[in-house]
Structure 1
């Protein structure tokens, strides 16, 4: 269950809810499958997979949760085809055009008729709370999915005082200096992927993959005013990832040094395997996150205002 992304939210107040009480609060939004006329269902499921397990799984003080979303799949092309047939029938029978408001009402009727027969798609999103470090860490590739997790937690806890992390220096400015060959920390190794953007509104974007970042063409883009907004790096020979200007991390890989630590726990039991991997992963991320903030000048506490 190794995370492939790190989407980070910072607690502005201590998270001191007892894990048992926390799991009980999550039960108010336990996942249930979509009803026949429901297009979507979203709620909490047990991270360990079975309903008999708790909704909050604790290891070494870290609290894992898992949100499950089920969506009915109704292709827009099918809806439009049926809608067009119904509109044409009304216009032919009544000799009048179907106006926009009536068309939208017909579209809703078509959707309601198709939903009971629609296929559904389900996905799970894992996240965990680090009470000691003050982090909510989600395995999400987009800010929208992270906000969905935070919103679901808010509905169960009544409030969730978290904000995106902010640093004293702009990550794009620091990453640009690294690619220029300046101030590269000893525990950071540049890989062969980056994205550059011109600072002006709607500025041009250059994406480089499998490319030597020391090449003259990359340096020319920087000299022309572009900044690095995404950069692939390796940290301390333990983690490899792509970081962007918002401190979101994608394409995360736990390298051999970390995987070897997890492999020391030899077990064929899936629950024990999950527990061991989660313990190693969360401890590794807990060691990395303070360094991540430090790399970009430290935390900007003035902007740390809670979002309740």
Structure 2
């Protein structure tokens, strides 16, 4: 249940939808297994898995949704080898080269024939909706995957207007300053031991783990013009993370105190109750951490200021 990654989005003109109405809408877009000729499919599934038929859980204004994505794994190298073999056989039989148009037709035929036999990979993606705070957070490793889930939610609701959460101070600027000047760090911010430093020119990217971020080596690299694009941080007493330059939070680790609180709760061996307990504690921690992070970064940027990175998923008329 505990999120490992978080992509945050600000809801604008958030739709007012009751829990029952949302439950019905999610059920209409429920996941169905891939058909034989389909490459990918995405739909909602109960967060509790097979032991549940409930598509949405809401506790203290926090909603939990889960999507399931399936895709067939058909390596391009496999398709290419089969196409080359068929082209060679045809050229040998006809005594002349196969045209580019015919090669493309052979490739499409091979793809259609092999796709139903390809392995299927399933991926569960959880979504946290803070109805009171107007935030949506998605537990996905990439922004692309997160926005696929947002698009599914748009289809489900009919419209959805969101923008990636943005701060007044760019994360790159703040992270670089925190590394350069220990006095600039907020009192409750602790540095971790991971960093990514990107050069202005063609010197590439330097990634380091298990390092002292206050070391002379790091300061020398910063003095040479490098900027921090990823930085391991800890919000004291709550959670640790790696902050990225697009405000994505990766490698989330929740505090032992919070996990102990979850483990101490009496769920009566009810798996769904256990999931809900974990979720509400996690959601509260994420809401507090998001607010704390924004305060460190000078507050939230206005909608006009973030227009260049708007992810406006409103449906078209």
Q: Which runs of 5+ in 1 are unaligned?
A: none
CA RMSD of aligned residues (A): 1.6
Q: What's the TM-score once normalised by structure 1's chain length?
A: 0.95
Written as runs of structure 1 = structure 2, the 5 A alignment for 1:1-308 is 1-50=1-50, 52-180=52-180, 181-200=182-201, 202=202, 204-267=204-267, 268-301=269-302, 302-303=304-305, 307=312, 308=314
Describe the shift of the 1:108–1:162 C-alpha distance in structure 2 as closer, same or farther (beyond 3 A): same
Please identify runs of 4+ aligned residues in structure 1 that moved more than 4 A: none
Aligned length, in residue pairs: 307
Residue-by-residue CA offset, 1:273-304 (whole Å, 9 max, x unaligned): 10110011011111111111111010111325
Shift of 1:203: 5.1
Shift of 1:68: 0.6
Q: What's the TM-score once normalised by structure 2's chain length?
A: 0.92
Residue-by-residue CA offset, 1:78-126 (whole Å, 9 max, x unaligned): 2222211110111111222222222122111112112222221111110
Q: Secondary structure at the match of 1:182?
A: helix
Shift of 1:158: 2.0
Shift of 1:138: 0.5
Q: Which runs of 5+ in 2 are unaligned?
A: none
Q: Secondary structure at the match of 1:297?
A: coil
Check the 8 A contact 2:14/2:160 in 1, yes or no. Answer: no
